[in-house]
Amino acid sequence: MPKFIVFLCVLCTCSTLLGQSKTEVPTIYIDGGGVMRWSDTKAEASFYGVNYTVPFAHAYRALHYKGIDHKAAIDRDVYHLARLGFNAYRIHIWDVEISDAKGNLIANEHLDLLDYLFSKLEERGIRILVTAMTNFGNGYPERNQITGAFSYLYDKCSIHADPQAIEAQKHYISQLVNHINPYTGKAYKDDPYVVGFEINNEPCHTGEVGITKRYINEMLSALKKAGNRKPVFYNVSHNMEHVPAYYQSAVQGTTYQWYPVGLVAGRERKGNFLPYVANYSIPFANEKEFASKAKAIYEYDPADVLYGYIHPAMSRTFRSSGFQWITQFAYDPLDIAAYNTEYQTHYLNLAYTPAKAISTMIAAEVAYQVPRNQQFGTYPLDTLFDDFMVSYKQDLSLMNTKNKYYYSNHTTVEPVSPTDLQHIAGHGSSPLVQYAGSGAYFLDKLSEGVWRLEVMPDAEQVADPFSKPSLSREVVRILWQEWPMTIAIPDLGDDYQLKRLAPDTVISGYRIAKDKSINIMPGVYILSRKGGNIAEEWTANTLWNNFRLGEFVAPSPSSEQQPYVGHTPPPIVERGSPLALHMKVISRVKPDSVIIQTDQVSFWKNDNPSIKMEQQAGYSYTATLPVELLASDKLKYTVTVYADGRRYTYPQAAEGTPLDWDFSVSNYFSTTCVDPSSSVLLVTTDAEEPAYEHYAIPETSYLEYQRAQSDLTKSAIWNYHFISRDSASRFFWQKDISRDITARRSGIAQARQLCLAIGGRGLAGGLEIGFVSDMGYTYVANVTVDDKKEEIQVVRIPLETLKQVSTALLPAPYPVFLERYFVPQINIPFQVTQAEKLLISTRGAVSPTAELRVGAAWLE
C-alpha cells in the first residue's frame, strides 16, 4: 500500500479556512450579455481548475483496492489544488452510484464523499460547477457495476426522449439540488460556492430538434420548481444538428470541451502542438441568443502528452474566445497517480507530473489575467503574449510579472523585477533558483526578508503512462534525495538562514546558506535574512492565504529497489565522430559508478575496455564513445549500474555484469553505424506494423492495409485500400523522423532530394509528399502516381521544390466542429534540419478501387 508523507495541521471548523462566514461569500450571476459576474462588485469572473473524481467510479474503487481512506485522499489532493492556485472545480456526477431506478437520491458513501469534497474545496476558496448526471456506467477502465439506477435502464441516446426516463431525471435532479450537505449545512442550490449546474454530461441527442428543446425545458422547469436560482448550463459542443434547440432554451450558460490532439493514442505523443491550439472557432457563433449565454470549458486536455508548454497556450485561446470557466480533465488522485489508471489518456498530478502541473498553474494565471476576448497575433507570434511565454523547443511555459515568476522547465529568462517578487514556482532551474531535483518547488514571500519554501520530491518517469494501465504498473517513481539548491533572491541575501517546518523529522534548528546555496530535502522551510528571529512569528500553525505554513503533502519514496535506466539509443550514427550518449539512471541510492561496455568484452579477456559515465544534473548521465567503437556496422553496448553494493546490467535489467563468469548478456542497446556520406534512411517497411500513422479527414473515411513481401530479398511493401464515406475525403500518412534527422547531421547537410518507393492506382489527384517542421509548418510537393505501372516506383523530390501549405491537424481534434487545418500567415522557408515528420497525403478525389503502395523513404 502506498504511503504518503503528510504534515497537516488540524483545520479550523469554520466555513472557510480564513473564518469568513458564508453569508459574506459573493456568488456568481450571468448578466444579459452572457457574462459571469460577482454579486458584490459586478466585476467579471474568471475561473481555472480541474475535474477530479475520487467520490465515484474507478478512482473510488482503486483507493479501496489500495486500502486508502477516501477522505484522507481528498484532503491531500485539495491541498495540492489550492497550492497550484486553482479557483475552480467541476465534476460530472455518476448518477448511477447515488440514485435508484425512479431517480431517488440515495444517501450512501459516494454522496457523503461528494459532500466532504465540496466542503474541503470551499475551505480553500475553490468554486464548483456541478454536472448533475453522466447518464452512463461507472466502470471505465473496468467493467460497469450494475447498481439498479435509472441511467442503466435507458440507452444514453434515448434517455432524453423517453417519458419515464425524463421523469426519473427530473426526480433525481430536483432532489440533488435540494440535498443538504451536512459538512456545510447548505443545500447545493443555496451554497454560494456552487456556481451553477450543468444538466448532464455530453448528452446524445438524436431525432427531432423539437424533442431536445422539450427535454431541456422540462429539466429547467424541474430545477425552477425545486427552488434553484443558480445559473443552469447545457452542453452545446455535441450533436451539431441540435444547436438551435440549445439556444432557444432558457439555459444561461453553455459548455464546451477541447481535446486538440485526439484521445487514447495508447502511447505518449510527441511534437509541436502549438499550431493545434492557436484557434478555437465556434461555427454557430451567429446563432440567435449565442451572445447572451456564458461560455464554459467543462473539460479540456492535450491528451497523451507530458509536455509542460501547452496548457497556457490553450488557456490563452480560451480567453480569446470569451470563455470564463476552464477546467482540465482530469486531475489524478495522488494515491493512485503512480499508475495513471483512472484515465489512460490523461495524466496530471503535482507530485507525479510536476512540469505539467506548473504549466497548469501558469495557465490558471492566464485565465485570471488575460482579458476576455483579447486577441493575439497568429502563431508563432502568439507564443509571446502579455506576461507569458510558451516554447515547444524548450518545453517551457513562463509567467514573468513584477510579483510572480513561474516556469515549467529550465529557463534563462531573467525575472522582470527580482526585488519586487512575491511568488516563485518552478520545475528545473532559472536565474533565481538552481536546483538539480526533478520535483516542483514554491517560494512565497511572507514579509520583508522572510520566505516560505516548499520542495516536492523527485518524480522520474519509468514507463509510458499512456499505454495500457494497471495498478501494479508504476509509471513514475518518487525519490526523496538531497540536492543543492541555490536561491538568488535579493530579499534574502547570500547567507540567509533556513528552518524546517515539515515533514516532522529530527531535523530542527537553523542552517545557514553559503553563497546562496544549501542542501535541501523535500519539505517546507522558512527562509529569512541572516540574524532574524522567525521561530515564534512563523510556525507550522501560522495561517497564510488558504493554508497553514506547515502543510505539506507528498508521496513516500517508491518501493522499487533496483535502479532504472532510461535510455533510447540513437537509431543510427555517423562514423568518424565521437558519439555522445545520454541516459537517466534513477536510483534511490546514488550509484558508485555507471559503466558502458560493448558486446566485444568477455570474461576470458584480460583487457576489456569500458567507459565510465559522468553524472550531470540530477539523474542524468553522459558519456562519449570514441570513434574507434563506431567502425563496424552495428554498435552494441550494455550499461552496468553499481549501487548499494549491487550491480545491475541494462537493458537486460538483470543483476550481474558482462564480465561475471556466470552472467550471460541476452539483450543489448544497439545502433547502426553508417558512412556520413550515405543516404539518410527515414522509413523502413520490414516491421510487423506499418511505419506510418494514418488518418482521414473526415474520420468517417478510413484505410485498410496489409503487408506484402513476395520476394524475401526485397523490402516489404504496405498496401492501403481506401474506404471513403465522402467524395471529398483526404487521407494522410505520417511518420515521426525527428530522431533520424538529429542523428544524421552530415548526411542531412548534403541531402538534396527526398526519395520514396511508392505506387498505386485510382489516385487521379495525385499525392502531396513532404515534411512537417518543428515549427508545425508543412512543406510538400505534388506527385503524380502512374496508374499504368504495376511495379513500385522511386519518386525523387528535390527539396528546393517543397512549398509551404496548410498543416493538417492529425489526429482529429474534439469537438468535431473545430478546424482541421492550421493556415499559416507567415512564410517561413523550409530547412530540412528542422523536419520532424514525413508526410504523404492524397489530393482530390480517390476512386472506390484506389490503392496506395508504400515502401521505404530516404534523403540523398
pLDDT at 144 over 70: yes
pLDDT at 715 over 90: no
- pLDDT digits over 649-673, tens only? 999 999 999 999 999 999 999 999 9
Q: What is the pLDDT of residue 725?
A: 76
- Rg of the chain over Cα atoms, rounded to whole angstroms, equals 29
CA 166 → CA 170, 172, 211, 212, 235, distances in Å?
6, 10, 12, 11, 17
- Residues listed for the chain: 860
Q: Which amino acid is at 588?
A: R
Do 801 and 853 fall into the same domain? yes
Has residue 411 been placed in a domain? no
Contact 459, 473 (CB under 8 A): no
CATH of the domain at 616: 2.60.40.10
Average pLDDT for 356-367: 98
Do 650 and 753 fall into the same domain? no
Residue 48 falls in which region: left (phi positive, over 0), alpha (psi -120 to 50) or beta: beta
Has residue 178 been placed in a domain? yes
Contact 547, 86 (CB under 8 A): no
Q: What angle do CA 277, 280, 281 make, to 5 degrees?
A: 145
- The domain boundary residue, chosen from 312, 344, 375: 375
DSSP string, 228-280: --S-EEEE-SS-GGGHHHHHHS--SEEEEEEBTT-S--SS---S--TGGGS--
Q: What is the pLDDT of residue 844?
A: 84
- Report the percent of the chain where pLDDT is more than 70: 96
Average pLDDT for 495-512: 82
Encode 593-606: b = buried (16+ Cβ within 10 Å), e = exposed: ebbbbbbebeeeee
The bridge status of strand 523-528 relative to strand 404-407 is unpaired
The bridge status of strand 821-822 relative to strand 294-300 is unpaired
Distance, in Å, from the CA atom of 747 to the CA atom of 602, rounded to the nearest integer, reads 34
- pLDDT digits over 280-337, tens only? 999 999 999 999 999 999 999 999 999 999 999 999 999 999 999 999 999 999 999 9
Spatial CA neighbour of 754 closest among 831, 605, 860: 860
pLDDT at 21 over 50: no
Number of H helices, E strands in the chain: 10, 56
Residue 262 falls in which region: left (phi positive, over 0), alpha (psi -120 to 50) or beta: left
Q: What angle do CA 765, 768, 774 make, to 5 degrees?
A: 160
* Residue whose C-alpha cell reads 488540524 in the numeric block: 10
Has residue 288 been placed in a domain? no
Spatial CA neighbour of 666 closest among 679, 652, 676, 656: 652
CATH of the domain at 145: 3.20.20.80
| Domain total of the chain | 3
Q: What is the pLDDT of residue 290?
A: 97
Do 151 and 252 fall into the same domain? yes
Distance, in Å, from the CA atom of 167 to the CA atom of 517, rounded to the nearest integer, reads 66
Distance, in Å, from the CA atom of 294 to the CA atom of 236, rounded to the nearest integer, reads 12
- pLDDT digits over 422-458, tens only? 999 999 999 999 999 999 999 999 999 999 999 999 9
Q: What is the pLDDT of residue 20?
A: 44
- pLDDT digits over 455-481, tens only? 999 999 999 999 999 999 999 999 999
Distance, in Å, from the CA atom of 649 to the CA atom of 656, rounded to the nearest integer, reads 6
Do 686 and 666 fall into the same domain? no
Distance, in Å, from the CA atom of 171 to the CA atom of 218, rounded to the nearest integer, reads 11
Do 618 and 742 fall into the same domain? no
* Residue whose C-alpha cell reads 563468469 in the numeric block: 661
Q: For residue 724, what pLDDT band results from cuts at 50, 70 and 90?
A: confident
CATH of the domain at 802: 2.60.120.430
Q: What is the pLDDT of residue 12?
A: 36
State the chain's mean pLDDT as an integer.
Answer: 94
Average pLDDT for 121-142: 97
* Residue whose C-alpha cell reads 529568462 in the numeric block: 413
Q: What is the pLDDT of residue 533?
A: 67
pLDDT at 614 over 90: yes
Do 84 and 51 fall into the same domain? yes
Spatial CA neighbour of 451 closest among 509, 505, 527: 527
- pLDDT digits over 145-191, tens only? 999 999 999 999 999 999 999 999 999 999 999 999 999 999 999 99
Encode 130-157: b = buried (16+ Cβ within 10 Å), e = exposed: bbbbbbbbbeeeeeeeebebbbbebebe
User: Which residues constitute the domain of residue 204?
Assistant: 44-269+297-375
Do 697 and 669 fall into the same domain? no
CA 279 to chain centre: 19
pLDDT at 9 over 50: no
Distance, in Å, from the CA atom of 826 to the CA atom of 836, rounded to the nearest integer, reads 19
Distance, in Å, from the CA atom of 360 to the CA atom of 272, rounded to the nearest integer, reads 18
Q: What is the pLDDT of residue 538?
A: 87
Distance, in Å, from the CA atom of 813 to the CA atom of 815, rounded to the nearest integer, reads 6
pLDDT at 17 over 80: no
Q: What is the pLDDT of residue 95?
A: 98
Do 53 and 73 fall into the same domain? yes
Which helix (H) or strand (E) element contains residue 128? Answer: strand 127-133
Has residue 716 been placed in a domain? yes
- The domain boundary residue, chosen from 375, 390, 406: 375
Average pLDDT for 210-214: 96
Q: What is the pLDDT of residue 688?
A: 85
- pLDDT digits over 769-791, tens only? 999 999 999 999 999 987 766 67
Do 369 and 326 fall into the same domain? yes
Q: What is the pLDDT of residue 22?
A: 47
Has residue 192 been placed in a domain? yes
The answer for residues whose C-beta is within 8 angstroms of residue 788's C-beta and 6 or more apart is none
Do 625 and 727 fall into the same domain? no
Q: 220-229, 526-535, 607-616, 845-854: which range is least confident on average? A: 526-535
Proportion of the chain in helix, strand, coil states, percent, rounded to 5: 20, 30, 50
Has residue 243 been placed in a domain? yes
Has residue 257 been placed in a domain? yes
* Residue whose C-alpha cell reads 487521407 in the numeric block: 731
Do 130 and 218 fall into the same domain? yes
- The domain boundary residue, chosen from 375, 399, 430: 375
Contact 298, 93 (CB under 8 A): no
**C-alpha dihedral (111, 112, 117, 120), degrees to nearest 10:** 150
Q: 20-29, 124-133, 603-612: which range is least confident on average? A: 20-29
- pLDDT digits over 786-828, tens only? 776 667 889 999 999 999 999 999 999 999 999 999 999 999 9
Do 717 and 583 fall into the same domain? no
Has residue 470 been placed in a domain? no
Distance, in Å, from the CA atom of 437 to the CA atom of 451, rounded to the nearest integer, reads 20
